[in-house]
């Protein structure tokens, strides 16, 4: 099965700059100036998304696919998350578009809207390791989660689909929202 | 204990999901290679570890959970409501001496995974 190209620069990202090279991350590791994802308590994050946005109500809107990335490690929107949307065709996924979430953790426009929303199996590939590295979270190398495939099935193109994704460096949850 | 294990839980009912096929793959030279297909037992687990401790090594791994058949077989579940049918989890073993328990919690409209223990 083919997928969008893997990014080995992310999967084998060096932590030399963070001073963690060669250190086992099985437990809490002290590192000045970095936020640790494994081991608690963690100090305040360097630069997570600002929490100054409100919820969005979409009741009554037409067919569309929208998404919302929520950083459950920091309790903020997942701002600046790169996401690759693709649709399954046969045994492969065909890329449709790549977006970066805004300050509210949402894509700037609906991922698909009106006639562009078709039934089928979709994948939203979230660049989670890159997201946490960018805001200064110290992670193992390679991190437990790097490129996270969010797969879902749109079965009725006349409906509205909302896709919230709650993520941390160690897990994620997604669901059909509203 | 090193290696990889998993567990599929039907979190709508709070019960294990038996009889679900899981495909386990490893990244080799930029491609996913299928290592084996297994089926969950009555406890929602596999009879043997997905990756035994003796075979644990650093790398990128993938679990594909074919839960759609299980969900469709449940009374009261309409196929039209199955939003998450075959979730895929990709993760790294970054320290071969550690254990990686990767559970899959699922309902027709939701799935959750994490590094468990």
pLDDT at B89 over 90: yes
Q: Which residue has the higher pLDDT, A19 or B14?
A: B14
Contacts of A148 in chain B (CB under 8 A): 90
Cross-chain Cβ contact B95/A26 below 8 Å: yes
Q: What predicted TM-score, i.e. pTM, was given to this entire model?
A: 0.82
Contact in structure between A3 and B62 (CB atoms under 8 Å):
no
Contact in structure between A79 and A102 (CB atoms under 8 Å):
yes
Question: Shortest Cα distance from B82 to chain A (angstroms)?
Answer: 7
Q: The complex's ipTM?
A: 0.96
Query: CA–CA distance from B85 to each of A62, A175, B64, B106 (Å)?
Result: 24, 11, 10, 9
Taking only Cα atoms into account, the Rg of chain B, rounded to an integer number of angstroms, comes to 14
- Cα separation, A110 vs B48, in Å, equals 44
CB-based contact (8 Å) between B71 and chain A? no
Torsion sign, CA atoms A14, A19, A23, A25: negative
- Cα separation, B40 vs B91, in Å, equals 20
| Sites in chain A below the pLDDT cut of 70 | 1-51
Q: Which residue has the higher pLDDT, A24 or B80?
A: B80
Among A153, A104, A105, A100, which residue's Cα sits nearest to residue A130?
A100
- Cα separation, B72 vs A92, in Å, equals 24
Least CB-CB distance to A144: which of B92, B111, B112?
B92
pLDDT at B102 over 50: yes
pLDDT for A163 equals 98
Cα A22 to the center of its chain, rounded Å = 27
**pLDDT tens-digit series, residues A95-125:** 999 999 999 999 999 999 999 999 999 999 9
Cα A131 to the center of its chain, rounded Å = 8
């Amino acid at each position: 099965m083919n997928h969008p190209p893997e990014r080995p620069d992310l999967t084998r990202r060096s932590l030399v700059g963070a001073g963690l090279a060669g250190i086992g991350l099985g437990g809490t590791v002290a590192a000045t100036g970095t936020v640790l994802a494994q081991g608690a308590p963690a100090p305040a994050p360097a630069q997570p998304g600002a929490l100054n946005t409100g919820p969005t109500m979409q009741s009554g809107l037409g067919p569309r696919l929208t998404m919302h990335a929520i950083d459950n490690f920091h309790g903020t929107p997942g701002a600046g998350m790169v996401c690759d949307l693709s649709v399954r065709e046969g045994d492969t996924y065909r890329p449709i578009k790549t977006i970066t979430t805004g300050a509210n953790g949402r894509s700037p426009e609906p991922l698909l809207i009106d006639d562009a929303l078709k039934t089928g199996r979709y994948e939203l590939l979230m660049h989670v390791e890159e997201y946490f590295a960018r805001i200064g979270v110290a992670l193992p190398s390679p991190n437990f989660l790097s490129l996270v495939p969010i797969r879902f099935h749109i079965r009725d193109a006349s409906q509205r689909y909302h896709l919230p994704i709650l993520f941390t460096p160690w897990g994620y949850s997604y669901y059909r929202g509203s | 204990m090193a290696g990889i294990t998993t567990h599929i839980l039907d979190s709508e009912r709070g019960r294990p999901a038996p009889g679900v096929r899981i495909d386990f793959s490893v990244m080799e030279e930029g491609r996913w290679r299928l290592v084996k297909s297994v089926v969950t037992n009555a406890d929602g687990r596999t009879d043997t570890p997905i990756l035994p401790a003796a075979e644990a090594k650093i790398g990128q791994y993938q679990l594909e959970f074919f839960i759609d058949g299980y969900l469709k077989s449940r009374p009261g579940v309409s196929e039209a409501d199955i939003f998450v049918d075959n979730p895929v989890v990709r993760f790294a073993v970054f320290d071969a001496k550690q254990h990686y328990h990767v559970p899959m919690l699922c309902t027709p409209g939701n799935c959750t995974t994490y590094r468990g223990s």
